[in-house]
């Protein structure tokens, strides 16, 4: 072997084995103490080595939910819309502590999130607000979340992997700053669990809230084979939480988790399912932009109907009846574009997507379908109407007559 080649090989092996190239791991621990008497949580972030992070720049919204900041190092609070808080940690072990209000009310006396003397239903996104992380090169933060529960509260559930009684590992490969997001529930809980494919499913609610936990698991078990056929990504863990009025009488997806008011039917009179719709949002993660909200909302509603139908939960007659109902409700809709879309627009989008699916199947001789367009949209960081049309036409292999519509202008 030539000397030059041996030298190059030796240098390469040295580079691979050298610890210089391995990221240095630094612990970032989140400690959350729930305080029902004041409707707050005390949150403490602790860096094992503060010098690993130059700064964390938090988006505090209007600032009204957060208070009592104490920091090792420098803390600078700037009022505004949004309010911002910048933490520059001290060099050694460093902590930032603050309090955050849990209950968030809506109009007509309902709640988005709520804390009572016996339980708390909250979002991790509120406990630790979004932040811009400026860290030293070659550092990897290893994040964990631990809850300290009030006396008498038995358990806590999150969508993150459990590594202890009330402790969870936070690891989001798509973000530099690992923070605990998604729905969370703590207190005196009733819980049911099962495994569907690769996913550990947990259904939890406070005791006495009327959550039909076995009904939820049964419906999910019923549609799961169809879900696996459509979606390539299956989370390791899925959490479904629920509570009764005065919690908001609706449903909402968050990271690997779903909120469902316990009064909502799992399948509505029309045949659509709020639970399946939010599941599509969790698994699809289609992010739209530029007044193209019809894409994510339309796909979610389309598949909420379609997955139940494919699983055998809807007859052809009932399916056609539902399509006619959507057509009647959307008669006056002239555009699907907008930052937020109405129920009538969503129904109109479902009909458009159904036509697109039929067009794709006919033009590709049943080799492709709307499923391929959905999977393509999932791979994009965000999608607007123009990109969606291009995606569909790449699946078809030619221009789409269905998408050449005034509804999309």
9 pLDDT band (50/70/90 cuts)?
Answer: low
Among 3-7, 189-193, 376-380, where is mean pLDDT lowest?
3-7
Phi, psi of 111 (to 5 degrees): -125, 140
Q: What is the pLDDT of residue 14?
A: 46
Residues 204 and 258 in one domain: yes
Do 85 and 50 share a structural domain? yes
Residue 1 falls inside a structural domain = no
Please give the radius of gyration of the chain, using alpha carbons only, rounded to the nearest integer: 24
Q: Are residues 250 and 364 in the same domain?
A: no
Domain final position from 115, 150, 179 = 179
In 3D space, the residue among 49, 57, 85, 54 whose CA is nearest the CA of residue 69 turns out to be 85
Same domain, yes or no: 34 and 164 = yes
Whether residues 35 and 175 fall in one domain: yes
- Which CATH number belongs to the domain containing residue 326 in this structure? 1.10.390
In terms of pTM, does the model score above 0.85? yes
Task: Determine, yes or no, domain membership for 53.
Answer: yes
Which of 115, 144, 179 is the last residue in one of the domains?
Answer: 179
How far from the centroid of its chain's Cα atoms is residue 197's Cα?
Answer: 20
**pLDDT: is 287 or 196 the higher one?**
196
Whether 343 and 227 share a structural domain = no
Residue 155 has pLDDT above 50, yes or no: yes
Angle made by CA atoms 252, 257, 262, in degrees to the nearest 5: 55
42 and 156 both lie in a single domain: yes
| Domains held by the chain: number | 3
Q: 203 with 174, same domain? A: no
pLDDT tens figures, 99-148: 999 999 988 889 999 999 999 999 999 999 999 999 999 999 999 999 99
**What is the average pLDDT value for the chain, to the nearest integer?**
92
77 domain-assigned:
yes
Using H for helix, E for strand and C for coil, what is the string for the chain? CCHHHHHHHHHHHHHHHCHHHCCEEEEEEEEEEEEHHHCEEEEEEEECCHHHEEEEEEECCCCCCEEEEEECEEEEEECCCCCEEEEEECCCCEEEEEEEECCEECHHHCEEEEECCCEEEEEHHHHCCCEEEEECCCEEEEEEEEEECCCCCCEEECCCCEEECCEEEECCCCCCCCCCCCEEEEECEEEEEEEECCEEEEEEEECCCCCCHHHHHHHHHHHHHHHHHHCCCCCCEEEEEEECCCECCCEEEECCEEEEECCCCCCCCCCCCHHHHHHHHHHHCCCECCCEHHHHHHHHHHHHHHHHHHCCCCCHHHHHHHHHHHHHHCCCCCCCCECCCCHHHHHHHHHHHHHHHHHHHHHCCCCCCHHHHHHHHHHCCCECHHHHHHHHHHHHCCCCCCCCCHHHC
Q: Domain holding 249: CATH number?
A: 1.10.390.10
Residues 295 and 311 in one domain: yes
Question: Is 203 inside any structural domain?
Answer: yes
Residue 7 clears pLDDT 80, i.e. is over it:
no
Q: What's the CATH number where 61 sits?
A: 2.60.40.3650
The pLDDT score that the predictor gives to residue 364 is 96
Could you list the residue range(s) of the whole structural domain that residue 297 is in? 286-408
Answer yes or no: is 112 within a domain: no
From CA 275, how far away is CA 279, in angstroms rounded?
6
In the chain, % of residues over pLDDT 90: 84
In-domain check, residue 39: yes
pLDDT of residue 22: 72
SS3 176: coil
Average pLDDT score over residue span 169-181: 88
CB 184 within 8 A of CB 102: no
d(CA 253, CA 271) in angstroms, rounded, equals 20
State the pLDDT at residue 21: 55
Q: Do 172 and 279 share a domain, yes or no?
A: no
Q: What is the pLDDT of residues 267-321, one digit of tens each?
A: 988 778 999 999 999 999 998 888 889 999 999 999 999 999 999 999 999 999 9
**Same-domain check for residues 365 and 382:** yes
In a domain, 18, yes or no: no
Same domain, 207 and 174: no
For residue 254, being part of any structural domain is answered with: yes
* Average confidence (pLDDT) over 3-32: 65
Domain closes at, from 236, 256, 283? 283
Q: What is the pLDDT of residue 186?
A: 98
């Amino acid at each position: 072997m030539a000397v030059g080649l041996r030298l190059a090989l030796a240098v390469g092996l040295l580079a691979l084995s050298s610890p210089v190239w391995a990221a240095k791991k630094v612990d970032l621990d989140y400690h959350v103490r729930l305080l029902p008497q004041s409707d707050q949580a005390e949150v403490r972030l602790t860096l094992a080595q503060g010098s690993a992070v130059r700064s964390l720049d938090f988006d505090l919204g209007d600032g009204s939910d957060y208070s009592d900041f104490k920091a090792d190092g420098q803390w600078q609070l700037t009022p505004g819309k949004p309010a911002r808080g910048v933490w520059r940690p001290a060099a050694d072990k460093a902590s930032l502590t603050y309090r955050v209000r849990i209950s968030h009310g809506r109009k007509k006396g309902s709640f988005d999130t709520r804390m009572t003397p016996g339980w708390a239903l909250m979002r991790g996104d509120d406990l630790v607000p979004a932040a811009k992380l400026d860290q030293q090169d070659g550092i990897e933060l290893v994040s964990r979340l631990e809850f300290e529960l009030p006396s008498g509260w038995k358990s806590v559930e999150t969508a993150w992997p459990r590594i202890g009684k009330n402790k969870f590992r936070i690891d989001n490969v798509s973000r530099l700053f690992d923070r605990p997001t998604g729905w969370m529930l703590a207190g005196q809980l009733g819980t049911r669990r099962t495994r569907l494919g690769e996913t550990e499913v947990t259904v939890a609610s406070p005791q006495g809230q009327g959550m039909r936990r076995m009904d939820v698991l049964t419906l999910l078990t019923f549609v799961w084979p169809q879900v696996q056929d459509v979606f390539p990504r299956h989370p390791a863990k899925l959490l479904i939480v629920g509570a009764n009025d005065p919690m908001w009488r609706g449903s909402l997806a968050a990271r690997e988790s779903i909120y469902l008011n316990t009064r909502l039917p799992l399948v509505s009179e029309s045949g659509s399912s709020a639970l399946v719709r939010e599941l599509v949002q969790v698994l699809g993660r289609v992010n739209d932009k530029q007044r193209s909200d019809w894409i994510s909302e339309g796909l979610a509603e389309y598949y909420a109907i379609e997955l139940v139908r494919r699983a055998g939960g809807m007859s052809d007659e009932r399916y056609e009846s539902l399509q006619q109902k959507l057509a009647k409700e959307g008669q006056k809709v002239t555009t699907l574009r907008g930052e937020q879309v109405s129920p009538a627009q969503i129904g109109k989008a479902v009909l458009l997507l159904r036509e697109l699916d039929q067009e794709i199947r006919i033009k590709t001789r049943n080799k492709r379908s709307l499923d391929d367009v959905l999977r393509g949209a999932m791979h994009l960081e965000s999608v607007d109407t123009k990109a969606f049309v291009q995606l569909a036409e790449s699946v078809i292999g030619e221009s789409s007559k269905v998408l050449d519509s005034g509804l999309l202008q």
